[in-house]
Chain A
Amino acid sequence: MEYVLVKITRRHVFGSLSYTVLFDTFIALVLTGIKFGGGFVENFIISQCIGISICSLALTGLYLFRPANPLFMLVLVMIAIIIGTVVGWTLGSMAAGLSVSLFDQRFMPVMILGIMFGSIISYFFSYRERISQSEALIQEERIKRLANEKEMAETNLRFLQAQIEPHFLFNTLSNILSLLDSDLERGKSMLADFIHYLRMALPKTRGETTTIGQEIEMIQAYLNIFKVRMGDRLRYRLDIPDAIKGFPFPPMLIQPLVENAIRHGLEPKIEGGELFIRGEKKGDRIRLEIIDTGMGFNEIEDTGVGLSNVRERLQSLYGGIGRLILEENRPSGLKAIIEVPHDAN
């Protein structure tokens, strides 16, 4: 058992001594109960003397030698138990007014009891110490992790808001550039959509919360761009009732799901597919579904990064009430569902 006692502190001394006194009292009671020795008072005095001697010796030994090696520590404690029993018995017998002799026939059983109880108590102490040490460490780890997680969630949000995916950026610009030569009107309208999207997606130009309607407006611009780029390969529908468009909604929660559906679902699929975005108020919740008929889900690929981010943000914004559910869509693709309480904002 690798276990390193770092330092004997005041806490150890008081803790161990008070437990020892308790244990000794218990031992005295048990011994009296089995009619050992000369009554409770005598047993009590002797067992207290033995217990306190062992405990003091063990603590002193650990304090002086600071054993890092568990075997050395075990030897140290055993020596403390043996010497402690002899010393404690001698002192205790004197205090109880009994004759003291190591050749007393009562000495052997006392020695055996001393070693037995001493070992049990020492084991209890080392066990307790190990638990409190690993608990302290786990607690420390937890705090570190929580602080880290909080920080990460904040960074992620900033990062996500600031991020315009480079493939998206350069491919869109290429398309616009090309259209300016071949179809000026379409080129202009694509540029307008792109500007609209950027204005809403970049962090400095938007507030902390938006409405579902505004988010959908941004998604619309985003999809217009992809419609030009993907042509017939992308078909999409939006079904967001006017009644929910005014609800406040955290920014950039829907967009990563739409981006995910296109980038990992529809774009890599030769024949492309459909994207369907719908929303509804269901009881006290708003439910939004982003459904694609694309490639479906890859368990390992980094597709999860954007999705994990959405999950974390829902968690930090709404606790357990807001959630992201991902399901396989039939016959193909992915269905992402966001549920948030509608009166939480």
Chain B
Amino acid sequence: MTQTKAVIADDEKQLRVHLKSLLSELWPDLIICGEARNGQEALELIEKHRPDIAFLDIKMPGLSGMEVAKKVTESCWVVFITAYDKYAVEAFENEAIDYLLKPITHERLEKAIRRLQKQIAASIKPPSNMSDIIEQAITRLYNKEKSGHLRWLKAQHGDGIRLIPVDDVSYFKASDKYTLVLTKEGELLIKKSVKELADELDPAQFWRIHRGTIVNAHYITKVSRSLTGRGVVKLKDRPELLTVSRTYIHIFKQM
């Protein structure tokens, strides 16, 4: 019987040292054929050495441990390592994939090793739908971790690029190819269109009142009707009145 081989991957050197010493103690026959410092290295080492097992830290620069596991074409058992990942732990709770929490303890690692040894001794192959399982886990994680709304704008300022929090913007106005951004500190031009902004900004805070205008609801001081019956909005610290088009007047009617 050939000897069992493993690759370990963690961006923190001391943690690789730790895992290696624990493994040599608990599974002396295991050959560590490679140590990776980031996701790319892990992927290369796995493709090159075709190990039976990969111990992958989830949070690594380059590719995350999960992305590595998804990309691996060689069949190998994966054990994820994470410091703290409530969702990741949930995601793998009932799967064929094991995970270890940092700091790794003797007891928990021993349990993982026994499980791996059993599977390898019985010549059980890792699940062939591994990348699907991981893909699903990543999607679940992704959905939970991203709020998704645009919070900052990149805008030219002097000779540099400044990041403007959207909370500082009183309104956006379409202007030819660009969008004019009016903040308390001045006016800026950005390339994002009003339509794109409408999709990306938090709709609870940013209200589209016209095809070419989005206002920050926090800055509205007055809503009224002009003599022609159109809705007009007045914003804090701004002299101009903004027109509400008929398509969007319903926002104010709910009030």
Contact = CB atoms under 8 A, between A and B. Distances in A.
Interface stretch (B115-123, B131-139, B152-160): B152-160
Interface of A: 2-3, 127, 130-131, 133-135, 137-138, 145, 166-167, 169-171, 173-175, 177-179, 181-182, 228-231, 233, 267-270, 297, 299-302, 304, 307-308, 311, 325-328, 330, 334
Nearest to B253: A2
Given A134-B252, A308-B167, 13 more contacts: A138-B221, A138-B223, A166-B84, A171-B102, A173-B102, A174-B103, A178-B18, A228-B14, A230-B11, A304-B165, A327-B157, A328-B154, A328-B160
A131 B225 contact: yes
- Which 9 pairs, one residue from A and one from B, show the smallest C-beta to C-beta distance? A178-B18, A166-B84, A170-B83, A326-B163, A174-B103, A328-B161, A304-B151, A174-B102, A137-B255
Contacts of A138: 220-223, 255
B59 interface: yes
A167 B165 contact: no
Interface stretch (B1-9, B68-76, B91-99, B141-149): B141-149
Contact of B151 (A2, A229, A233, A300): A300
Contact of B152 (A166, A270, A297): A297
Contacts of B223: 131, 134-135, 138
Interface residues of B, number: 47
B218 interface: yes
Nearest to A233: B11
A66 to B, nearest CB: 19
A327 B156 CA distance: 10
Contacts of B157: 327
Given A308-B165, A308-B167, A231 B13 contact: yes
Contacts of A228: 14
Contact of B15 (A3, A169, A171, A330): A171
Contacts of A178: 14-15, 17-18, 21, 103
A270 B38 contact: yes
Contacts of B153: 299
Nearest to B218: A145
B62 A270 contact: yes
B145 A302 contact: yes
B188 interface: no
A86 B238 CA distance: 48
A174 B109 CA distance: 14
A126 to B, nearest CB: 10
A275 to B, nearest CB: 15
A134 B255 contact: yes
Interface of B: 11-15, 17-18, 21, 38, 40, 59, 61-62, 83-84, 101-104, 145-154, 157, 160-163, 165, 167, 200, 218, 220-225, 252-253, 255
29 contacts: A134-B223, A134-B224, A134-B255, A145-B218, A166-B83, A170-B83, A170-B84, A171-B12, A173-B103, A174-B12, A174-B14, A174-B104, A177-B18, A178-B14, A229-B14, A231-B12, A268-B61, A270-B38, A270-B62, A297-B163, A299-B152, A300-B149, A308-B151, A326-B162, A326-B163, A327-B157, A328-B162, A330-B160, A334-B163
A86 B245 CA distance: 39
B225 A181 contact: no
Nearest to A272: B61
Contacts of B252: 134
Contacts of A173: 102-103
A87 B255 CA distance: 37
A307 B165 CA distance: 10
